[in-house]
Structure formats: C-alpha cells, structure tokens
Structure 1
C-alpha cells in the first residue's frame, strides 16, 4: 500500500477512535489536597467537576487517549483552551524531559486536533473531552519513558486531578505529548 494511502487510513482510524467514544473511569491513586491534587471519583469534588481518562488506543506506534470532563456540580462550568497536564513517574515524582504541546505538535495529523480552542460552557451533567496524542517510538540508547500517573487541571488555576490511566502512557523516547483543546461532546452524565 502506498505510504500516503496508509497515512490517510491511519489518520482516519485514529480520528474515529479519539472522537467517537466517551471512555470509562480509570483508577485514581489517592487524594492529597496538601499537594494540590484531588481524586477524581464518583463523588463530586468541591470545584464541581470530575475528569476521567479513557484507555489508550494503540495504532502502529501512534497512541491516543481521551480525557472526559464532567460537570457534576450545580452551576455552569466554563473552560477555554487546553487542559493543563503534568506527568509523573511510578513514585509520583514529576517527570522531566517530556514536552507537553498544545495540538498535535507534529506527532500526527488528526482531524480537529489542531483546530483553535473556543469557549466551552457545561451545564450541570454535561460533558466535554480533550485528546492526548503521542508516539511510542523508541530510538537511540535512552530507555523509553513510561508515565503511570498524570494530573489534569481543567483550566488554569483549578485543582489538579490525579489520574492513573489503565496501562499508563508509553511515550517511548519521543519526549512529546500532544494535548487537544476541550470540546463539547453533546453527552450528559
């Protein structure tokens, strides 16, 4: 199959996977308000939102995962832009050497991933999603980067919600993670 056809098929499949499903709740490590983290579980945190991570969708070295933001509070919740992502190792120490970029950052071409963000206002019970995108390519002598934990702040200044995605993020040696903007999903919970 010619490379351009292969790329088009791959991009279409990843786009469908990233955009079509609201994923299940992943395990949460613990609640540590002193560290500025809160657990994201079925109980609604004080801020009135809950963030969950879906499973990792692998596709020939390209990986994608959805984050789902649920307004579990009693008032409208507004976000604009991108979720703030921080990556942590097995000992829950912040990882260095990984660049988190807004949009695809040249990782892959995925429909809608590089569209400019707009305001998203969620009524109680409504959901939004944002995608994560990376490659697990391993080159050179450095070992691959594994990310078992990440924190997600829905917007600047909001509480960091600690997530442990099933299987973690296997970033290989690429050192890049693309983050898509928040988008309404049309769903309610």
Structure 2
C-alpha cells in the first residue's frame, strides 16, 4: 500500500478483456454473498424518458452478453422492447466491489428460453401464467385465485411456457469494474467498444 492509501498493481487492472474478470469476480461473490450473488439492478427507460430500476437475477452470461428472463408484458419488458437498450449494476457489498454495464439488448432464442423454463420449479412456472406483472392488482385474493386456476388447468403433465415470457440478453458496449479503496481513492477500470461484436478498449478511470 502506498502512503496515499491507494493499493497499486491489483490483478484485475491487468486483464485485457472483461468476461474473464467478471467470471472471477462472480465466483468470489458466490463464496461470500449470503443471498443471491447473481442479483443485479436493471435500469431501463420508459416512453417519456424517465428511468426505472429494479433487481433481477442474472441467469447466464458469456462473451455474447448477460441474460435474464421476465414477462415481456411487464414494465421492464415493454421498456426494453421499446428501445432495445438497458444497463445493469452488480454490487457485492461483502467484497466492496461493483460492476456496471450497458448496451444493446436482444431477445433470447426460443430454444434457450424453453430450456431454462424447464429448470424452474412447477410453482414458478404456474406463477408465470398467473401474474399479470406490473399491472394493477385489486387484492391478494385475485392473485391466489389465478394461481389456483392455472394449478388446476395444468394439474397433469407439462406446464407450457407462456408466449409472453422469455429472455433478454444485454450485449454490453461498456463494462466497468470498481473496487473500494481507502480515502475514496477507488480502483476503476472500464472496458469499452463501439459495437457489440467489436474489440475492447481498456482504460483506468479516476475514482
């Protein structure tokens, strides 16, 4: 540690592409976070230009992007389908680390969505049918009644995937890694590219 309190020479600042680094940080989070290390804040923008943010669960990632699933008729579903852009922020408090990313969004293939849907519990699959996500609910009983109706409808056999339930993949144009340091002299490294299949440029940022 230097006299200023800024640690130098950290391994993560040496990486030349972001996905290997994200994989290592997520693995660390899986070992240290008590609940949901894949929880991530998802930001979208509505038709009036107002931002919305909420927590979702990351369900997959690779060099092509970051995947989550949702009801396309929900507020976030409609907003993403409208602009095809979104941002995410992971915050792992136990590690004092943060990862931010933003970029274009594409719809996940039906094949990949079907494969993930089959891994969900039976109750979660019923819930995907019963919940009119982001729309007014007159009372808890109405939701419970809808759950009961779909449970009876699909009492035997497979529960098909609702046509309005699918996945999104954020194809990042920028990914920033942040690590807390003393005196707010944090480490920040950002990877940027001009297109989702282009090469990465790496730069260190002032905290």
Greater helix share, structure number? 2
Greater strand share, structure number? 1
TM-score (norm: length of structure 1) = 0.27
Q: Give the structure, 1 or 2, with the largest relative contact order (CA under 8 Å, sep 6 or more).
A: 1
Q: Which protein is bigger by CA-based radius of gyration?
A: 2
TM-score (norm: length of structure 2) = 0.25
